[in-house]
């Protein structure tokens, strides 16, 4: 390398580091190197050096021909980087979880809920803290309790137990009291907004609430306040639900560690609640909220639901608007309910699954819940290679087998399915997160993060070329078709939770993905709906969990079978001993 190129290289590295983009030089540094020169145009030596860093080789003639278009592209990129793009602006293209040949129901039908039977207010109102939404709703509608009374009881429990759980970021007493009083007044006037009218809930702290902090779990955003509500907040308010608090999220929607510390598992306070919907999982499991809204990009609803023993639904991509919610991946992010029971998930999803005209990935495909659906007529599959994996934790493996045995005892014929052997390495999450957090890196605010190492992934994603990003999405489409073919013969299928997988020793190389992990990654990237629900307990006393899965937009069938299993086993009715109500 001659002196001129070496000088350019060193200048590039210095500027690259000052931008907070230091790290391994991956493909994609071409544009970053050109920016580092600070010149309005480029020359052949700069292109040759940048190409070498990116692993590319061009002839002298090809390089000479590139100088003009590269200079023009650099000028366009500088204009883009000078622009201010609001957080709520997504790219103008929308991912679809449907693959060729998939058929979904498009006719809207009225929901059918199971009968709750007679409910009676207990002498101690706190005894209803663990009641499902359906019974709380019946209690309110029968005028045995007011929304205000319920709201005050849950606010009290949040305050009482938060010191041990660390699940609350911001209490919203004034909002909750005002909404509860309005709910009571409307019901007294004969205006019933539906099954969530007067029922309290909690929101994960990447969901914006107008005028209150939305910290995204990060020290870099501790004082962030938006002047608008997320669509899901508006929709639930219109349904009459009462918002109690902003609940903890792992920093920038990762894990259970946030700027306020670790959120703890109500069943075992010595371990985290998993994440990143850490607060929603812990608060729901501890009877501090009747339900919560979590978000998932790569396991952030299913994992904390499994760890905390709640029933958590990751809906199909495109079911629920993400407007006003922090983005990690515009082609993977989903919002979903974390509840006490399967039917609670159906109630909440029925309220929030509708287009809002803002998140254009949300279509009009109906969610037609029918608690009377004959689940015995469903074709049900399972993944024998994942369930039989000898490396799984013994407690989880035992309870998984008991789940399969229980379903067979109920009359279900389980059809074996195979997970496609597909290379699932993708780059879209890294790239899309790098786009959303580009300003965090460029401004230097990443230094205020609680865990600055989290920014490394965003740095790496910034260096992946657009060509490779789109090629990765095309590979994703191929994988989706293979998974669709593998699951086409069943209405619902079962998979084990990845929490039952062994963790490699500290410092050891990561093992090849197990059948369970491979399926989890594929189903997540394909944006399949999944439901985590408790299926027993480990020797430690902590719950274990199993997954009910289905192809896109088949939540009604998935929930119908899961409800039948849950009704037969009742594991969801147990309460964490430290938070139980006598």
Catalytic residue list: 204, 276, 300
Query: 215: which 2 tokens?
Result: 């910290």
CB 244 within 8 A of CB 201: yes
Q: Using N-to-C axis directions, what is the helix angle for 133-141 and 147-165, rounded to 10°?
A: 150
- Tokens 């501090």: give the residue: 288
Nearest to 395 by CA among 492, 519, 247, 496: 496
d(CA 432, CA 438): 10
CB 266 within 8 A of CB 579: yes
d(CA 153, CA 123): 13
The distance of Cα 484 from the centroid of its chain, to the nearest Å, equals 22
d(CA 89, CA 257): 27
Residues 6 or more apart whose CB falls under 8 angstroms from that of 512 comprise: none
Neighbours of 335 (CB within 10 A): 28
CB 540 within 8 A of CB 417: no
- Tokens 């790290």: give the residue: 23
Nearest to 204 by CA among 252, 239, 241: 252
Residues 6 or more apart whose CB falls under 8 angstroms from that of 367 comprise: 319, 349, 350, 353, 553, 555, 556
178: helix, coil or strand? helix
d(CA 217, CA 261): 10
255: helix, coil or strand? coil
């Amino acid at each position: 390398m001659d002196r001129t190129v070496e000088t350019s290289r060193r200048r590039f590295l210095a500027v690259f580091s000052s931008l907070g983009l230091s790290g391994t030089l991956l493909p994609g540094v071409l544009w970053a190197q050109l920016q580092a020169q600070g010149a309005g145009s480029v020359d052949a030596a700069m292109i040759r050096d940048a190409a070498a860093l990116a692993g590319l080789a061009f002839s002298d003639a090809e390089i000479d021909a590139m100088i003009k278009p590269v200079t023009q592209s650099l000028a366009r990129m500088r204009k883009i980087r000078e622009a201010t793009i609001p957080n709520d602006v997504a790219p103008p293209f929308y991912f679809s979880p449907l693959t060729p040949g998939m058929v979904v129901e498009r006719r809207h039908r009225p929901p059918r809920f199971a009968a709750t039977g007679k409910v009676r207010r207990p002498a101690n109102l706190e005894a209803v803290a663990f009641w499902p939404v359906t019974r709380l709703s019946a209690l309110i509608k029968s005028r045995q309790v007011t929304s205000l009374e319920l709201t005050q009881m849950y606010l009290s429990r949040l305050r009482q137990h938060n010191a041990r759980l660390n699940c609350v970021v911001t209490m919203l007493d004034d909002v909750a009291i005002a909404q509860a009083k309005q709910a009571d007044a409307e019901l007294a006037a004969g205006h019933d907004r539906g099954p969530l009218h007067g029922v309290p809930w909690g929101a994960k702290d990447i969901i914006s609430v107008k005028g209150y902090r939305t910290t995204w779990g990060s020290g870099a955003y501790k004082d962030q306040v938006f002047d608008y509500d997320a669509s899901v907040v508006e929709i639930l308010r219109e349904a009459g639900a009462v918002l109690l608090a902003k609940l903890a999220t792992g920093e920038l929607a990762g894990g259970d560690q946030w700027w306020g510390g670790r959120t703890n598992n109500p069943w075992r306070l010595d371990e985290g609640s998993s994440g990143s919907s850490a607060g929603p999982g812990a608060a729901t499991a501890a009877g501090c909220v009747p339900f919560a809204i979590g978000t998932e990009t790569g396991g952030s609803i299913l994992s904390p639901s499994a760890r905390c023993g709640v029933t958590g639904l990751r809906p199909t991509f495109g079911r629920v608007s993400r407007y006003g919610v922090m983005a990690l991946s515009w082609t993977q992010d989903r919002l979903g309910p974390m509840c006490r029971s399967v039917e609670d998930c159906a109630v909440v999803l029925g309220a929030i699954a509708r287009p809002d005209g803002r998140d254009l990935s949300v279509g009009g495909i109906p969610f037609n819940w029918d608690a009377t659906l004959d689940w015995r007529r469903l074709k049900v599959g399972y993944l024998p290679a994942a369930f039989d994996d000898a490396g799984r934790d013994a407690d989880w493996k035992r309870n998984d087998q008991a789940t399969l045995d229980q379903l067979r005892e109920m009359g279900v014929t389980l059809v074996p399915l195979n997970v496609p052997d597909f290379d699932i390495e993708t780059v879209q999450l890294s790239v899309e997160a790098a786009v959303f957090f580009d300003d965090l890196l460029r401004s230097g605010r990443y230094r205020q993060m609680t865990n600055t190492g989290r920014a490394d992934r965003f740095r790496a994603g910034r260096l992946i070329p657009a060509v490779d990003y789109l090629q990765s999405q095309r590979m994703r489409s191929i994988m989706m078709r293979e998974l669709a073919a593998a699951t086409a013969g069943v209405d619902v299928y079962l998979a084990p939770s990845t929490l039952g997988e062994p963790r490699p020793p500290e410092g050891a190389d990561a093992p090849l993905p197990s059948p369970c992990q491979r399926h989890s990654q594929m189903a997540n990237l394909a944006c399949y709906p999944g439901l985590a629900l408790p299926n027993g307990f480990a020797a430690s006393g902590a719950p274990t969990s199993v997954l009910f899965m289905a192809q896109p937009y088949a939540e009604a069938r998935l929930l119908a079978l899961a409800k039948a299993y849950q009704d037969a086993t009742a594991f969801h009715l147990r309460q964490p001993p430290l938070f139980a109500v006598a």
